[in-house]
Amino acid sequence: MTVLQGTRPRVNAGRLVEQVAGLGAIGAVPGGGVTRLAFTPGDVEGRAYVARLMEEAALAVRIDAAGNLIGHRPGAVPGAPALVLGSHIDTVPDGGAYDGAYGVLAGVEVARTLHEEGVRLNHPLAVVAFCDEEGAHGTMGMLGSHGFAGVLPPGAARVLDDRGIPVADLLAAVGGDAERLAEAAWSPRDIAAYLELHIEQGAVLERLGVPIGVVETITGRVNVSVTVDGVAGHAGTTPMEHRADALDGAARLVLAVRAIAADERVVLRATTGTCAVEPGMWNVVPGRVRLGVEFRDTSAGALEAALARLAEAAAEVAGATGTRVTVVPGARTSPVDCDADLRELIARASAEQGLPYHRLPSGAGHDAQIVARIAPVGMIFVPSRDGVSHAPGEYTAPEHLAWGADVLLTAVLMRDAT
Protein backbone atom coordinates (compact mmCIF):
# COMPACT_ATOMS: atom_id res chain seq x y z
CA MET A 1 0.00 0.00 0.00
CA THR A 2 1.70 3.15 -1.07
CA VAL A 3 0.63 6.18 -2.90
CA LEU A 4 3.82 7.30 -4.57
CA GLN A 5 5.86 4.17 -5.05
CA GLY A 6 5.98 3.16 -8.71
CA THR A 7 3.40 4.54 -11.09
CA ARG A 8 0.25 3.08 -9.52
CA PRO A 9 -0.95 4.81 -6.36
CA ARG A 10 -2.95 2.48 -4.14
CA VAL A 11 -5.24 2.78 -1.15
CA ASN A 12 -5.23 0.34 1.77
CA ALA A 13 -7.64 -2.20 0.27
CA GLY A 14 -8.03 -4.39 3.34
CA ARG A 15 -8.88 -1.42 5.52
CA LEU A 16 -11.46 -0.12 3.06
CA VAL A 17 -13.18 -3.51 2.73
CA GLU A 18 -13.26 -3.84 6.53
CA GLN A 19 -14.82 -0.40 6.89
CA VAL A 20 -17.52 -1.14 4.32
CA ALA A 21 -18.41 -4.20 6.40
CA GLY A 22 -18.16 -2.18 9.63
CA LEU A 23 -20.57 0.50 8.44
CA GLY A 24 -22.80 -2.18 6.93
CA ALA A 25 -23.18 -3.76 10.35
CA ILE A 26 -24.87 -0.58 11.58
CA GLY A 27 -28.54 -1.00 10.73
CA ALA A 28 -28.07 -4.61 9.55
CA VAL A 29 -31.37 -6.51 9.58
CA PRO A 30 -32.13 -10.25 9.44
CA GLY A 31 -31.93 -11.50 5.86
CA GLY A 32 -28.72 -9.64 5.03
CA GLY A 33 -30.13 -6.18 4.31
CA VAL A 34 -29.34 -2.81 5.85
CA THR A 35 -32.02 -0.41 7.10
CA ARG A 36 -30.34 2.87 7.91
CA LEU A 37 -32.83 5.51 6.87
CA ALA A 38 -31.72 9.12 7.13
CA PHE A 39 -32.27 10.82 10.48
CA THR A 40 -32.88 7.54 12.37
CA PRO A 41 -30.69 6.32 15.27
CA GLY A 42 -28.93 3.97 12.81
CA ASP A 43 -28.06 6.91 10.57
CA VAL A 44 -26.78 8.89 13.55
CA GLU A 45 -24.62 5.91 14.59
CA GLY A 46 -23.37 5.43 11.02
CA ARG A 47 -22.47 9.10 10.76
CA ALA A 48 -20.54 8.89 14.03
CA TYR A 49 -18.64 5.86 12.63
CA VAL A 50 -17.71 7.83 9.51
CA ALA A 51 -16.80 10.94 11.53
CA ARG A 52 -14.36 8.83 13.57
CA LEU A 53 -12.76 7.52 10.38
CA MET A 54 -12.52 11.06 9.05
CA GLU A 55 -10.64 12.08 12.19
CA GLU A 56 -8.30 9.12 11.81
CA ALA A 57 -7.67 10.37 8.27
CA ALA A 58 -6.65 13.75 9.76
CA LEU A 59 -9.70 15.47 8.25
CA ALA A 60 -11.28 18.38 10.13
CA VAL A 61 -14.87 17.25 10.70
CA ARG A 62 -17.99 19.40 10.73
CA ILE A 63 -21.72 19.09 10.06
CA ASP A 64 -23.25 21.81 7.92
CA ALA A 65 -26.74 23.26 8.31
CA ALA A 66 -28.15 20.85 5.70
CA GLY A 67 -26.96 17.89 7.78
CA ASN A 68 -24.00 17.02 5.55
CA LEU A 69 -21.03 15.45 7.32
CA ILE A 70 -17.89 17.05 5.89
CA GLY A 71 -14.23 16.17 6.41
CA HIS A 72 -11.80 18.83 5.26
CA ARG A 73 -8.07 18.79 4.45
CA PRO A 74 -6.24 22.03 3.62
CA GLY A 75 -4.36 22.48 0.34
CA ALA A 76 -0.94 23.97 -0.27
CA VAL A 77 -2.04 26.77 -2.58
CA PRO A 78 -3.81 29.56 -0.70
CA GLY A 79 -7.36 30.17 -1.95
CA ALA A 80 -7.38 27.21 -4.34
CA PRO A 81 -10.84 25.68 -4.90
CA ALA A 82 -11.49 22.27 -3.33
CA LEU A 83 -11.54 18.82 -4.81
CA VAL A 84 -14.72 17.33 -3.35
CA LEU A 85 -15.37 13.59 -2.96
CA GLY A 86 -18.82 12.55 -1.83
CA SER A 87 -21.81 10.25 -1.68
CA HIS A 88 -24.29 9.25 1.05
CA ILE A 89 -24.52 6.71 3.88
CA ASP A 90 -28.30 6.55 4.33
CA THR A 91 -30.10 3.53 2.84
CA VAL A 92 -33.56 2.55 1.66
CA PRO A 93 -35.48 0.12 3.91
CA ASP A 94 -33.83 -3.33 3.66
CA GLY A 95 -31.24 -1.98 1.23
CA GLY A 96 -27.57 -2.86 0.81
CA ALA A 97 -24.26 -2.02 2.48
CA TYR A 98 -22.62 -0.53 -0.61
CA ASP A 99 -25.00 2.00 -2.17
CA GLY A 100 -23.52 5.37 -1.20
CA ALA A 101 -21.56 4.08 1.80
CA TYR A 102 -18.81 2.76 -0.46
CA GLY A 103 -18.21 6.15 -2.08
CA VAL A 104 -18.01 7.97 1.24
CA LEU A 105 -15.67 5.40 2.81
CA ALA A 106 -13.48 5.33 -0.29
CA GLY A 107 -13.26 9.12 -0.18
CA VAL A 108 -12.13 8.97 3.45
CA GLU A 109 -9.66 6.19 2.55
CA VAL A 110 -8.20 8.37 -0.21
CA ALA A 111 -7.71 11.18 2.30
CA ARG A 112 -6.14 8.78 4.81
CA THR A 113 -3.76 7.38 2.21
CA LEU A 114 -2.66 10.89 1.22
CA HIS A 115 -2.14 11.72 4.89
CA GLU A 116 -0.15 8.59 5.66
CA GLU A 117 2.03 9.07 2.61
CA GLY A 118 2.63 12.71 3.45
CA VAL A 119 1.19 13.94 0.16
CA ARG A 120 0.24 17.59 0.25
CA LEU A 121 -2.24 18.45 -2.51
CA ASN A 122 -2.32 21.89 -4.06
CA HIS A 123 -6.09 21.95 -3.66
CA PRO A 124 -8.00 21.50 -0.42
CA LEU A 125 -9.79 18.15 -0.29
CA ALA A 126 -13.30 17.72 1.14
CA VAL A 127 -15.02 14.39 1.72
CA VAL A 128 -18.80 14.69 2.12
CA ALA A 129 -21.44 12.26 3.38
CA PHE A 130 -24.54 13.96 2.00
CA CYS A 131 -27.66 13.96 4.17
CA ASP A 132 -30.79 12.02 3.18
CA GLU A 133 -29.99 11.01 -0.40
CA GLU A 134 -32.66 8.32 -0.45
CA GLY A 135 -35.64 10.40 0.66
CA ALA A 136 -36.43 8.77 4.02
CA HIS A 137 -40.10 8.65 4.99
CA GLY A 138 -41.26 10.47 1.89
CA THR A 139 -38.82 13.40 2.11
CA MET A 140 -37.58 14.88 -1.16
CA GLY A 141 -34.29 12.92 -1.32
CA MET A 142 -30.85 14.36 -2.08
CA LEU A 143 -31.72 16.92 0.56
CA GLY A 144 -28.14 17.49 1.68
CA SER A 145 -26.73 17.88 -1.81
CA HIS A 146 -29.47 20.38 -2.63
CA GLY A 147 -28.39 22.36 0.44
CA PHE A 148 -24.72 22.02 -0.52
CA ALA A 149 -25.46 23.36 -4.01
CA GLY A 150 -27.73 26.11 -2.64
CA VAL A 151 -30.73 24.86 -4.62
CA LEU A 152 -33.16 23.72 -1.92
CA PRO A 153 -36.74 24.56 -2.88
CA PRO A 154 -38.21 27.42 -0.82
CA GLY A 155 -39.84 26.15 2.35
CA ALA A 156 -38.04 22.79 2.17
CA ALA A 157 -37.51 22.77 5.93
CA ARG A 158 -41.22 23.24 6.62
CA VAL A 159 -42.27 20.24 4.53
CA LEU A 160 -43.64 17.33 6.60
CA ASP A 161 -42.48 13.76 6.10
CA ASP A 162 -45.09 11.02 5.72
CA ARG A 163 -45.31 10.72 9.52
CA GLY A 164 -46.03 14.43 9.87
CA ILE A 165 -42.57 15.42 11.15
CA PRO A 166 -41.16 18.69 9.73
CA VAL A 167 -37.87 18.41 7.84
CA ALA A 168 -36.50 21.06 10.23
CA ASP A 169 -36.89 18.63 13.15
CA LEU A 170 -35.33 15.80 11.15
CA LEU A 171 -32.32 17.98 10.35
CA ALA A 172 -31.89 18.88 14.00
CA ALA A 173 -31.60 15.15 14.82
CA VAL A 174 -28.38 14.91 12.76
CA GLY A 175 -26.86 18.25 13.76
CA GLY A 176 -28.29 20.35 10.92
CA ASP A 177 -30.01 23.69 11.39
CA ALA A 178 -33.01 24.69 9.29
CA GLU A 179 -32.60 28.33 10.31
CA ARG A 180 -29.17 28.54 8.68
CA LEU A 181 -29.68 26.44 5.56
CA ALA A 182 -28.28 29.13 3.29
CA GLU A 183 -24.91 28.74 5.03
CA ALA A 184 -24.59 25.17 3.72
CA ALA A 185 -24.36 26.42 0.13
CA TRP A 186 -20.98 26.31 -1.63
CA SER A 187 -20.15 28.71 -4.42
CA PRO A 188 -18.92 27.55 -7.83
CA ARG A 189 -15.70 29.39 -6.95
CA ASP A 190 -15.14 27.01 -4.01
CA ILE A 191 -15.00 23.77 -6.03
CA ALA A 192 -12.55 22.70 -8.71
CA ALA A 193 -14.14 19.29 -9.24
CA TYR A 194 -16.57 16.86 -7.62
CA LEU A 195 -15.93 13.12 -7.91
CA GLU A 196 -18.34 10.40 -6.78
CA LEU A 197 -17.42 6.72 -6.67
CA HIS A 198 -20.45 4.40 -6.53
CA ILE A 199 -21.53 0.84 -7.20
CA GLU A 200 -23.17 0.56 -10.62
CA GLN A 201 -26.48 -0.85 -9.28
CA GLY A 202 -26.96 -2.43 -12.69
CA ALA A 203 -25.34 -5.37 -14.50
CA VAL A 204 -23.58 -3.73 -17.45
CA LEU A 205 -20.01 -3.87 -16.08
CA GLU A 206 -20.45 -7.39 -14.74
CA ARG A 207 -21.72 -8.65 -18.10
CA LEU A 208 -18.80 -7.06 -19.88
CA GLY A 209 -16.30 -8.25 -17.28
CA VAL A 210 -14.97 -4.68 -16.96
CA PRO A 211 -14.07 -3.39 -13.46
CA ILE A 212 -14.45 0.38 -13.96
CA GLY A 213 -17.33 2.44 -15.34
CA VAL A 214 -16.93 6.00 -16.53
CA VAL A 215 -20.35 7.61 -16.17
CA GLU A 216 -21.41 9.77 -19.08
CA THR A 217 -24.95 10.85 -18.09
CA ILE A 218 -26.97 10.57 -14.87
CA THR A 219 -30.67 9.85 -15.25
CA GLY A 220 -33.30 12.47 -14.53
CA ARG A 221 -36.30 11.66 -12.37
CA VAL A 222 -39.70 13.04 -11.56
CA ASN A 223 -41.80 11.84 -8.62
CA VAL A 224 -45.58 12.04 -8.92
CA SER A 225 -48.24 11.77 -6.20
CA VAL A 226 -51.42 10.25 -7.58
CA THR A 227 -54.59 10.28 -5.48
CA VAL A 228 -57.68 8.32 -6.48
CA ASP A 229 -60.85 9.39 -4.66
CA GLY A 230 -63.82 7.07 -4.80
CA VAL A 231 -66.64 6.36 -2.36
CA ALA A 232 -66.07 4.10 0.64
CA GLY A 233 -68.85 1.60 1.31
CA HIS A 234 -69.83 -1.71 2.84
CA ALA A 235 -68.11 -4.58 1.05
CA GLY A 236 -71.12 -6.86 1.57
CA THR A 237 -73.98 -4.58 0.66
CA THR A 238 -72.69 -2.13 -1.98
CA PRO A 239 -73.65 -3.62 -5.36
CA MET A 240 -70.81 -3.94 -7.84
CA GLU A 241 -72.46 -1.61 -10.33
CA HIS A 242 -72.86 1.15 -7.73
CA ARG A 243 -69.27 1.28 -6.62
CA ALA A 244 -66.70 4.00 -7.11
CA ASP A 245 -63.84 1.83 -5.87
CA ALA A 246 -60.67 3.87 -5.48
CA LEU A 247 -58.47 0.76 -5.59
CA ASP A 248 -60.09 -0.34 -8.86
CA GLY A 249 -58.98 2.99 -10.33
CA ALA A 250 -55.54 2.75 -8.71
CA ALA A 251 -54.95 -0.76 -10.03
CA ARG A 252 -55.68 0.41 -13.57
CA LEU A 253 -53.30 3.31 -13.07
CA VAL A 254 -50.51 1.06 -11.81
CA LEU A 255 -50.76 -0.88 -15.07
CA ALA A 256 -50.98 2.33 -17.10
CA VAL A 257 -47.80 3.64 -15.43
CA ARG A 258 -45.97 0.43 -16.26
CA ALA A 259 -47.18 0.55 -19.85
CA ILE A 260 -45.89 4.11 -20.33
CA ALA A 261 -42.37 2.64 -20.16
CA ALA A 262 -42.75 -1.05 -20.94
CA ASP A 263 -45.18 -0.89 -23.89
CA GLU A 264 -45.44 2.68 -25.10
CA ARG A 265 -41.70 3.41 -24.59
CA VAL A 266 -42.47 7.04 -23.77
CA VAL A 267 -39.87 6.95 -21.01
CA LEU A 268 -37.08 4.55 -19.96
CA ARG A 269 -38.39 3.57 -16.53
CA ALA A 270 -41.78 3.94 -14.83
CA THR A 271 -42.45 2.64 -11.33
CA THR A 272 -45.28 2.74 -8.82
CA GLY A 273 -43.38 2.25 -5.57
CA THR A 274 -45.99 3.05 -2.94
CA CYS A 275 -49.72 2.38 -2.54
CA ALA A 276 -51.73 3.45 0.49
CA VAL A 277 -55.33 2.26 0.67
CA GLU A 278 -57.88 4.01 2.90
CA PRO A 279 -59.52 3.07 5.09
CA GLY A 280 -57.65 -0.20 4.52
CA MET A 281 -60.10 -2.83 5.78
CA TRP A 282 -61.09 -6.13 4.18
CA ASN A 283 -64.74 -5.26 4.53
CA VAL A 284 -64.72 -1.71 3.20
CA VAL A 285 -64.75 -0.69 -0.46
CA PRO A 286 -61.65 1.56 -0.66
CA GLY A 287 -62.54 5.25 -0.58
CA ARG A 288 -59.12 6.67 -1.31
CA VAL A 289 -55.82 5.36 -2.66
CA ARG A 290 -52.57 7.26 -2.83
CA LEU A 291 -49.87 6.06 -5.24
CA GLY A 292 -46.22 7.12 -5.37
CA VAL A 293 -45.04 7.06 -8.97
CA GLU A 294 -41.67 7.93 -10.51
CA PHE A 295 -40.42 8.23 -14.06
CA ARG A 296 -36.73 8.17 -15.08
CA ASP A 297 -34.96 9.01 -18.29
CA THR A 298 -31.74 10.61 -19.51
CA SER A 299 -33.91 13.01 -21.56
CA ALA A 300 -35.90 15.79 -19.87
CA GLY A 301 -38.35 15.76 -22.79
CA ALA A 302 -39.17 12.10 -22.16
CA LEU A 303 -40.00 12.89 -18.52
CA GLU A 304 -42.40 15.63 -19.65
CA ALA A 305 -44.00 13.28 -22.18
CA ALA A 306 -44.50 10.65 -19.48
CA LEU A 307 -46.21 13.20 -17.23
CA ALA A 308 -48.52 14.18 -20.08
CA ARG A 309 -49.32 10.53 -20.79
CA LEU A 310 -50.07 9.90 -17.10
CA ALA A 311 -52.50 12.84 -17.07
CA GLU A 312 -54.34 11.27 -20.03
CA ALA A 313 -54.44 7.88 -18.35
CA ALA A 314 -55.76 9.50 -15.17
CA ALA A 315 -58.68 11.07 -17.06
CA GLU A 316 -59.49 7.76 -18.79
CA VAL A 317 -59.41 5.80 -15.52
CA ALA A 318 -61.51 8.39 -13.68
CA GLY A 319 -64.16 8.15 -16.41
CA ALA A 320 -64.15 4.36 -16.43
CA THR A 321 -64.33 3.88 -12.65
CA GLY A 322 -66.40 6.84 -11.47
CA THR A 323 -63.50 8.07 -9.35
CA ARG A 324 -61.65 11.38 -9.21
CA VAL A 325 -57.94 11.18 -9.96
CA THR A 326 -55.50 13.92 -8.98
CA VAL A 327 -51.96 13.91 -10.36
CA VAL A 328 -49.41 16.15 -8.63
CA PRO A 329 -45.81 16.16 -9.93
CA GLY A 330 -43.32 16.48 -7.04
CA ALA A 331 -39.54 16.49 -6.75
CA ARG A 332 -37.79 16.61 -10.11
CA THR A 333 -34.12 16.13 -10.90
CA SER A 334 -32.87 16.90 -14.37
CA PRO A 335 -30.73 14.48 -16.32
CA VAL A 336 -27.12 15.61 -16.12
CA ASP A 337 -24.01 15.01 -18.23
CA CYS A 338 -20.80 14.35 -16.35
CA ASP A 339 -18.08 16.87 -17.15
CA ALA A 340 -16.21 15.93 -20.35
CA ASP A 341 -12.77 16.66 -18.88
CA LEU A 342 -13.47 14.64 -15.74
CA ARG A 343 -14.72 11.72 -17.85
CA GLU A 344 -11.40 11.72 -19.66
CA LEU A 345 -9.55 12.12 -16.38
CA ILE A 346 -11.27 9.02 -14.95
CA ALA A 347 -10.54 7.08 -18.13
CA ARG A 348 -6.85 8.04 -17.87
CA ALA A 349 -6.76 7.20 -14.15
CA SER A 350 -8.15 3.72 -14.95
CA ALA A 351 -5.57 3.24 -17.67
CA GLU A 352 -2.87 4.37 -15.25
CA GLN A 353 -4.04 1.64 -12.88
CA GLY A 354 -4.00 -0.88 -15.72
CA LEU A 355 -7.76 -1.33 -15.37
CA PRO A 356 -10.14 -1.66 -18.34
CA TYR A 357 -13.04 0.80 -18.29
CA HIS A 358 -16.37 1.20 -20.04
CA ARG A 359 -18.41 4.35 -20.61
CA LEU A 360 -22.05 4.08 -19.55
CA PRO A 361 -25.08 6.07 -18.33
CA SER A 362 -26.36 5.89 -14.74
CA GLY A 363 -29.95 4.73 -14.31
CA ALA A 364 -29.81 5.56 -10.61
CA GLY A 365 -29.83 9.07 -9.24
CA HIS A 366 -26.81 10.45 -7.39
CA ASP A 367 -25.82 13.48 -5.33
CA ALA A 368 -23.46 14.29 -8.22
CA GLN A 369 -26.38 15.41 -10.36
CA ILE A 370 -27.29 18.07 -7.81
CA VAL A 371 -23.69 19.16 -7.22
CA ALA A 372 -23.45 19.51 -11.03
CA ARG A 373 -25.43 22.74 -10.72
CA ILE A 374 -22.38 24.42 -9.19
CA ALA A 375 -19.36 22.32 -10.20
CA PRO A 376 -17.97 19.97 -12.83
CA VAL A 377 -18.80 16.41 -11.73
CA GLY A 378 -17.34 13.02 -12.57
CA MET A 379 -18.56 9.57 -11.52
CA ILE A 380 -16.75 6.25 -11.27
CA PHE A 381 -18.71 2.98 -11.16
CA VAL A 382 -17.66 -0.48 -10.01
CA PRO A 383 -19.61 -3.69 -10.78
CA SER A 384 -22.64 -4.82 -8.79
CA ARG A 385 -23.17 -8.58 -8.58
CA ASP A 386 -26.20 -9.50 -10.71
CA GLY A 387 -26.93 -5.79 -10.95
CA VAL A 388 -28.78 -5.96 -7.62
CA SER A 389 -29.23 -2.81 -5.51
CA HIS A 390 -31.79 -1.30 -3.13
CA ALA A 391 -32.17 -4.88 -1.91
CA PRO A 392 -30.36 -7.18 0.54
CA GLY A 393 -28.50 -9.03 -2.25
CA GLU A 394 -26.42 -5.94 -3.09
CA TYR A 395 -22.74 -6.99 -3.32
CA THR A 396 -19.49 -5.81 -4.86
CA ALA A 397 -16.35 -7.95 -4.73
CA PRO A 398 -13.47 -6.75 -2.52
CA GLU A 399 -11.08 -6.36 -5.45
CA HIS A 400 -13.58 -4.17 -7.26
CA LEU A 401 -13.99 -2.03 -4.14
CA ALA A 402 -10.22 -1.63 -3.97
CA TRP A 403 -9.75 -0.88 -7.67
CA GLY A 404 -12.49 1.74 -7.72
CA ALA A 405 -10.84 3.52 -4.79
CA ASP A 406 -7.44 3.31 -6.51
CA VAL A 407 -8.95 5.00 -9.56
CA LEU A 408 -10.48 7.67 -7.34
CA LEU A 409 -7.11 8.30 -5.66
CA THR A 410 -5.33 8.44 -9.02
CA ALA A 411 -7.96 10.82 -10.43
CA VAL A 412 -7.51 13.11 -7.41
CA LEU A 413 -3.73 13.17 -7.83
CA MET A 414 -4.03 13.82 -11.59
CA ARG A 415 -6.63 16.55 -11.18
CA ASP A 416 -4.58 18.19 -8.45
CA ALA A 417 -1.57 18.34 -10.72
CA THR A 418 -3.43 20.30 -13.46
Q: Cβ of residue 306: shortest distance to ligand HGY, in angstroms?
A: 16
* CB contact at 8 A, 271 and 310: no
What count of other Cβ atoms lies within 10 Å of the Cβ of residue 354? Answer: 10
Q: Which is nearer to Mn ion, 36 or 243 (CB)?
A: 36
- Count of residues touching ligand HGY (by CB under 6 A): 6
Residues 6 or more apart from 222 whose CB is under 8 A from it?
294, 295, 303, 306, 307, 329, 330, 331, 332, 333
Selected binder of ligand HGY within 75, 365, 376, 404 (CB under 6 A): 365
Instruction: Supply the minimum distance, in Å, between the C-beta of residue 291 and Mn ion.
Output: 21
103 sits near ligand HGY (criterion: CB under 6 A)? no
SS3 call for 202: coil
Within positions 42 to 101, which residues make up the interface with Mn ion, using CB under 5 A? 99-100
Interaction between residue 391 and ligand HGY (CB under 6 A) = no
Q: Does 213 bind Mn ion (CB under 5 A)?
A: no
Positive or negative, the CA dihedral 107, 64, 174, 372 is negative
Contact flag: residue 95 with ligand HGY (CB under 6 A): no
- By the 10 Å C-beta count (0-12 exposed, 13-18 middle, 19+ buried), 187 is classed as exposed
Q: Does 351 bind ligand HGY (CB under 6 A)?
A: no
> 7: exposed, middle or buried (C-beta count within 10 Å: 0-12, 13-18, 19+)?
exposed
Q: How many beta carbons lie within 10 A of that of residue 60, not counting itself?
A: 12
* Contact in structure between 269 and 258 (CB atoms under 8 Å): no
Q: Does 364 bind ligand HGY (CB under 6 A)?
A: yes
DSSP-derived secondary structure for 283-315: TEE--EEEEEEEEEES-HHHHHHHHHHHHHHHH
Q: Is 134 in the site for ligand HGY (CB under 6 A)?
A: yes
Least Å from the CB of residue 144 to ligand HGY: 12
Q: State the alpha helices, DSSP H only, in 57-160.
A: 101-116, 143-148
* Piece of the chain touching ligand HGY by CB under 6 A; list 149-157, 166-174, 303-311, 364-372: 364-372
Q: Tell me if residue 406 falls in helix, strand or coil.
A: helix
Residue 86 in contact with residue 107, Cβ under 8 Å?
Answer: yes
Report the distance separating Cα 127 and Cα 130, nearest Å: 10
Give me the helix-helix angle, 398-416 and 13-24, nearest 10°. 120
Q: How far is the CB of 215 from Mn ion (least distance, A)?
A: 12
Give the one entry of ligand HGY, Mn ion, none that residue 284 binds, where binding means its C-beta sits below a cut-off of 5 to 8 angstroms depending on kind: none
User: Considering CB distances under 5 to 8 angstroms, the limit depending on partner class, which of ligand HGY, Mn ion, none binds residue 365?
Assistant: ligand HGY
From ligand HGY, Mn ion, none, interface partner of 119 (C-beta below 5 to 8 A by class):
none
Angle at 44 between CA 198 and CA 107, to 5 degrees: 30
Nearer to Mn ion, 100 or 376 (CB): 100
Q: Is 392 in the site for Mn ion (CB under 5 A)?
A: no
Q: In the window 96-155, what residues touch Mn ion (CB under 5 A)?
A: 99-100
Residues 137-156 that bind ligand HGY (CB under 6 A): 141
Among 133, 161, 200, 339, binds ligand HGY (CB under 6 A): 133
Q: Residue 69 or residue 232: which is nearer to ligand HGY going by CB?
A: 69
Please say whether the beta carbons of 111 and 125 come within 8 A.
yes
Number of Cβ atoms within 10 Å of the Cβ of 154 = 6
State the minimum distance, in angstroms, from the CB of residue 145 to ligand HGY.
11
Q: Tell me whether residue 153 or residue 354 sits nearer to ligand HGY (CB atom).
A: 153
Residues that bind ligand HGY (CB under 6 A): 133-134, 141, 364-366
Residues that bind Mn ion (CB under 5 A): 99-100
